[in-house]
């Protein structure tokens, strides 16, 4: 894994980077959710501060009372942090690749913690992601897989879309033989409101290429993900 290369930027018309091969992952008829990536011109913290003051007043609070005077500023800064994935294309974390002609076995990073915000209620959902792929001559740094998850999580999001976007990014940038992503999360929008079911865990998965075609490869991945669990 000594040599490395930089893949080109995505073509604005196709979303595919220069230098990428066809790969065995394949699209298999899946509509790419990567088209939902939106680059923001920047987070307007002043507008957020004004909006928070209005919300506090609308719920019957006094935005000027002690304890709330700095809340609009804190919320604006917090939004700039937790939504910073909007400002960039998470696929950029994958563009540095290493030639690995001799490695054709599964690469799996499991138990990647993440935090995101439900786009329906702007309440947090959080959990772990497990990301696996079978290389086809190229690998990326292990930390890049964690950064990829964070990039898609740090925006108003749905768990289903988050799972699919991570898998599709792996396929489109690395062109692996296959990719598999499993996300497990708790949603405060269904724990502290609505049906109020604390502790409920939602699991989603996305499988591409060899993981979809081969039950044995898929079973190996799930076995590794579940290893050590009671």
Q: Does the annotation count 102 as an active-site position?
A: no
The pLDDT tens digits along the chain (230 residues) read 444 444 444 443 444 444 444 444 444 444 555 555 555 568 999 999 999 999 999 999 999 999 999 999 999 999 999 999 998 999 998 988 888 877 889 999 999 999 999 999 999 999 999 999 999 999 999 999 999 999 999 999 999 999 999 999 999 999 999 999 999 999 999 999 999 999 999 999 999 999 999 999 999 999 999 998 86
Strand partners, 209: 178
Measured N-to-C along each axis, helices 45-58 and 71-82 cross at an angle, to the nearest 10 degrees, of: 130
121 a catalytic residue: yes
**Is residue 159 annotated as part of the catalytic site, yes or no?**
yes
Pairing of strands 107-118, 156-157: parallel
Task: Give strand pairing partners of 186.
Answer: 126
Catalytic residue check, 165: no
CA–CA distance, 58 with 48 (Å, rounded to integer): 15
Residue in 45, 189, 191, 220 annotated catalytic:
189
**pTM of the shown model:** 0.82
Backbone angles phi, psi at 21, to 5 degrees: -90, 180
State the alpha helices, DSSP H only, in 98-214: 142-153, 159-174, 210-213
Nearest to 79 by CA among 46, 107, 108, 38: 46
120 is catalytic: yes
Could you give all domains of the chain from N- to C-terminal order, each with its CATH number? 30-38+84-226 (3.30.1130.10), 45-82 (1.10.286.10)
- Judge whether 189 counts as a catalytic residue: yes
Which H helix or E strand runs over 180?
strand 178-187
Choose, from 54, 119, 160, 203, the residue flagged as catalytic. 119
């Amino acid at each position: 894994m000594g040599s490395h290369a930089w893949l080109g930027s995505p073509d604005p018309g196709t979303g595919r980077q220069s230098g990428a091969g066809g790969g065995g992952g394949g699209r298999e008829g899946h509509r790419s959710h990567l088209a939902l990536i939106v680059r923001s011109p920047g987070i307007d913290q002043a507008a957020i501060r004004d909006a928070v003051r209005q919300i506090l007043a609308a719920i019957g609070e006094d935005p000027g009372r002690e304890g709330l005077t700095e809340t609009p500023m804190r919320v604006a800064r917090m939004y700039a942090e937790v939504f910073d994935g909007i400002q960039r294309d998470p696929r950029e974390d994958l563009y540095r690749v290493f030639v690995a002609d001799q490695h054709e076995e599964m690469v799996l990073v499991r138990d990647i913690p993440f935090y995101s915000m439900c786009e329906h209620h702007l309440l947090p959902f959080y959990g772990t992601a497990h990301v696996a792929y079978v290389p086809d001559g190229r690998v990326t740094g292990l930390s890049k897989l964690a950064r990829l998850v964070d990039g898609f999580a740090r925006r108003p999001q749905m768990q289903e879309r988050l799972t699919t976007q991570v898998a599709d990014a792996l396929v489109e940038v690395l062109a692996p033989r296959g990719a598999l992503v499993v996300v497990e999360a708790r949603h405060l929008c269904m724990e502290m409101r609505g049906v109020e079911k604390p502790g409920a865990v939602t699991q989603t998965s996305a499988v591409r290429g060899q993981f979809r075609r081969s039950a044995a490869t898929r079973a190996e991945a799930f076995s590794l993900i579940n290893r050590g669990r009671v």
